[in-house]
Amino acid sequence: MHPRYVLKRTGQMVLTFFVTVTFTFALYQAMPGGPAEAMRAMILAESGQVGGSVNLDLLNQMVEHYANVNPDKPLHVQYYNYLHSLLIQGDMGTSIYQGEPVLDLILQSVPWTMFIGVYALALGYTVSLFLGAVMAYKERSLFDSVASIGVIFLNSVPYYIFAIILVYVLGIEYSVFPINGRYGTFVDPGFTLEYMSSVVRHATLPVVSMGILATGGALTMRGNAIRVLGDDYVRVAELRGLRRSRVAMQYVGRNSVLPLYTQFMIGIAGVLSSTVVVEEIFAYNGMGKLLYDAVLLHDYPVLMGTLLVFTTITLLAIYIADLTYGYIDPRISTGDSNE
Amino acid sequence: MSEADELDFEELFDDTDREPPSRSARLKRTLDLTVLAPLRIAIHDWRAVVAGTILLLYGLMGTVGVWLATKPSSGDHPKLQGPFQELAYPLGTDLYGRSILDQIIYATPDMFRMIFAGAIVAVGVAAVVGLLSGFMRGTPVDAVLMMLADIIITIPGLPLIIVITAIFQPTNPYIVGVFLGIDMWPGLARTVRSQVLSIREESYVEASQIMGLPTSSILRRDVAGQLMPFILVNASLTSRRVIFESVSLYFLGILPFTTYNWGVLMNLAYQENALTRSELLPWLVFPMITIILMSFAFVLLSQAMDAIFNVRLQARHAETIDDKEMTE
């Protein structure tokens, strides 16, 4: 791969990260009445000083303690301090409600969100790719039309409604899967079979409900595969007498999946988005739930921290996708602006 | 070169000398090409018919329905009545004695406002940015616009919108729609840009450039026309996303409950454990059906439009295109 492209792409990533950090800083400043006013009630309630006169200096100090933003200082100093504490000290602020560093809270929940997120992506795309491929092979058959309508219908069901239906049918009516928490209440965390199976069982319904997001890929896959099927090299491969499975996998499959690769990695942004609603429905303590609770409590430092981490994860995923694409699809000369 | 070919060639470039068609004839032709021909195809496309019918019903619900229904308030009717029992509350009542159907109807106009604002912002910004960027490929303008788009693509949409709405607490449906649109334009803009890049390479655009037509009129006549179907298809898909996301914000209880919304109904029912209390179930299920049906219509519509705006199919159904042009 071209070193210049890697350099350019890395620069782009770093820049995007800085813009996002700046954006969260700007959001603090854009709060009605400024960050001190917006967090005042919350901070006072937590520090037990309801009513009475408020020492403004003390309040500003506390805002700085929680959010790394001191409203007393000039804007550029605030911005410098904000960047400094975030990037050099790794300090994302402190949760007003829980009193713990935001970074700690996030580190505790990130693995769980990534766990269900990655499996949702894997499941959703595997199913939709296979479905799309089969639909393409049986183009214009009954199966194709029924599956197409099915996929269109699934696309019209919001994932959270799907989650609610799953909770009702598989969780409540038939009690096949647990419907809240990350693992059973009476299960001790550890490398035991009981714990592992409990984790998997608790993750099943969230994973399936988020996986539904990826089903739109089936129609794209179908379109790609139909186009590839009409190409000469597929006909040549068939005429050469290659095994059908080999033609299907190496010629048709590979060439119709490749254009979707980057789209998949961007899909992680969608899956991370959906964790906010899905984790709330399943009372699954991950990043999404952390963000949701922070909104209800007006816990702004946690809110900004989770937004930042969500973005960073997506940023890395797309970065990796872009850099590896050249290896996966040798036809693409990376760095061409004519995509 | 045969005589017929030469004649065609002359007609193509002879705009100035020829007597222009009368205003009404031109109007008729435009109408036929842009409105009637697509409609004629639409009638033969079952997806378009189904989608059109459903959306028409929702439109009626949002206009005539609101006028017919009574504004729901607590204690209107007996509490927790089942559906299909009484004409005053055909879908039953909720925990506070409000008619579920009336609440669903009263939520419709605001939903349309959100969809309208969201689709305009998402598709409008995407079209402008994509066109600009595609035509100024390689310039700093292109670089900056695409960088901006890439940055917004990277920020997961729902968390971003949640943070923004949590801070600004919008109540106006148009503003909610605009907020939702912010996160939807970048992906579209990128696609518009790549479409523009490929259209730019087409010979007829190149021909216009050689003939010295200003960039603005090339954009307007050659490129925008090509992109129109694409934009309409995406407006429909964006509408579906606006429904999904706005309802999820209300369902989560993040947007203020000052208006009626299907998500508000779902939230209240879900908080009261409607899943385990069967008498509360209609409160949750009917809004869900309403949402799914409307999204279904938009998805179908986008699929149908994809087919309808297929130029070849369109030419067969247009009356003002004569056979000579057809065989071209």
Whole-angstrom distance, CA of residue B232 vs CA of residue B305 = 8
Q: Mean pLDDT, to the nearest integer, of A224-247?
A: 82
Residue B24 touches chain A, beta carbons under 8 Å:
no
Residue A306 touches chain B, beta carbons under 8 Å:
yes
What is the structure's pLDDT at B325? 45
What is the structure's pLDDT at B328? 36
Q: What pTM was estimated for this model as a whole?
A: 0.83
The answer to whether A307 contacts B159, with C-beta atoms less than 8 Å apart, is yes
The answer to whether B156 contacts A272, with C-beta atoms less than 8 Å apart, is yes
pLDDT above 60: residue B9: no
pLDDT (tens digit per residue) in A121-139: 889 988 988 898 888 888 8
Residues in A closer than 8 angstroms to B188, CB to CB, are none
pLDDT (tens digit per residue) in A249-288: 778 888 888 777 767 777 888 888 899 999 999 999 999 9
**Which comes out higher in pLDDT, residue B72 or B113?**
B113
User: Residue B252 is nearest to which of A27, A38, A292, comparing CB atoms?
Assistant: A292
**Percentage, residues of chain B above pLDDT 90:** 21
Q: How many helices (H) and strands (E) does chain A have?
A: 15, 0
Q: Mean pLDDT, to the nearest integer, of A1-18?
A: 85
pLDDT (tens digit per residue) in A55-97: 777 777 777 778 777 777 788 888 888 888 888 887 888 888 8
**Which comes out higher in pLDDT, residue A24 or A58?**
A24
Mean pLDDT, rounded, of chain A: 83
Residue A158 touches chain B, beta carbons under 8 Å:
yes
Look-up of token digits 């036929």: B32
| Domain boundaries of chain A, sorted by first residue | 102-298
Provide the token pair at B61: 């619900």
Q: Which of A112-121, A270-279, A325-334 shows the lowest per-residue confidence on average (mean pLDDT)?
A: A325-334
Residues in A closer than 8 angstroms to B147, CB to CB, are 12, 15-16
Question: Of the candidates B192, B325, B74, B164, which has an alpha carbon nearest to the alpha carbon of residue A304?
Answer: B164
Q: Which pLDDT band holds residue B10 (cuts at 50, 70, 90)?
A: low
Whole-angstrom distance, CA of residue A281 vs CA of residue B39 = 43
pLDDT above 70: residue B16: no
Q: Which pLDDT band holds residue A227 (cuts at 50, 70, 90)?
A: confident
pLDDT above 50: residue B2: no
Question: Of the candidates A74, A62, A65, which has an alpha carbon nearest to the alpha carbon of residue A29?
Answer: A74
Q: Give the residue ranges of DSSP H helices in A138-192.
A: 142-156, 159-166
The answer to whether A172 contacts B248, with C-beta atoms less than 8 Å apart, is no
Give the Cα-Cα-Cα angle A173, A174, A178 (nearest 5 degrees). 95
Distance from the B135 Cα atom to the nearest Cα atom in chain A, whole angstroms: 12
Provide the token pair at B51: 């989608």
pLDDT (tens digit per residue) in A168-198: 998 888 888 888 888 877 777 777 888 888 8
What is the structure's pLDDT at A337? 41
Whole-angstrom distance, CA of residue A287 vs CA of residue A114 = 9
Q: Give the residue ranges of DSSP H helices in A213-260.
A: 217-229, 232-239, 244-246, 254-257
What is the structure's pLDDT at A56? 72
Q: How many helices (H) and strands (E) does chain B have?
A: 17, 0
CB B191 within 8 A of CB B144: no
B131: amino acid identity, one letter: L
pLDDT (tens digit per residue) in B35-76: 777 777 777 778 888 999 999 999 999 888 888 888 887 777
Mean pLDDT, rounded, of chain B: 81
User: Residue A172 is nearest to which of B187, B197, B276, comparing CB atoms?
Assistant: B276
Give the Cα-Cα-Cα angle A74, B152, B179 (nearest 5 degrees). 85
ipTM here = 0.84
Q: Mean pLDDT, to the nearest integer, of A304-333?
A: 82
The answer to whether A31 contacts B284, with C-beta atoms less than 8 Å apart, is no
What is the structure's pLDDT at A54? 63
Residues in A closer than 8 angstroms to B269, CB to CB, are none
Residue A31 touches chain B, beta carbons under 8 Å:
yes
Q: Mean pLDDT, to the nearest integer, of B297-304?
A: 88
Dihedral over alpha carbons B319, B321, B323, B328 (to 10 degrees): -150
pLDDT above 80: residue B88: no
| Domain boundaries of chain B, sorted by first residue | 39-327
The answer to whether B154 contacts A315, with C-beta atoms less than 8 Å apart, is yes
**Is domain A102-298 annotated with CATH 3.10.20.740?**
no
pLDDT above 80: residue B91: yes
User: Residue B167 is nearest to which of A27, A266, A311, comparing CB atoms?
Assistant: A27
B39-327 CATH: 1.10.3720.10
Residue B50 touches chain A, beta carbons under 8 Å:
no
pLDDT (tens digit per residue) in B183-220: 889 888 888 888 888 777 777 777 888 888 887 777 77
Q: Which pLDDT band holds residue B14 (cuts at 50, 70, 90)?
A: low
Sign of CA dihedral B243, B233, B299, A128: negative
**Which comes out higher in pLDDT, residue A237 or B121?**
B121
Provide the token pair at B223: 């490129």
Q: Which pLDDT band holds residue B18 (cuts at 50, 70, 90)?
A: low
Question: Of the candidates A287, A303, A270, which has an alpha carbon nearest to the alpha carbon of residue A114?
Answer: A287
**Percentage, residues of chain A above pLDDT 90:** 19
What is the structure's pLDDT at A334? 47
pLDDT above 70: residue B20: no
What is the structure's pLDDT at B286? 92
Return the number of other C-beta atoms located less than 10 Å from residue B181's C-beta: 25
Distance from the B234 Cα atom to the nearest Cα atom in chain A, whole angstroms: 14
pLDDT (tens digit per residue) in B153-180: 888 888 889 888 888 888 889 999 999 9
Tell me the residues of chain B between 233 and 272 that have a Cβ less than 8 Å away from chain A.
Answer: 240, 243-244, 247-248, 251-254, 266, 270
Q: Which pLDDT band holds residue B320 (cuts at 50, 70, 90)?
A: low
What is the structure's pLDDT at B262? 92
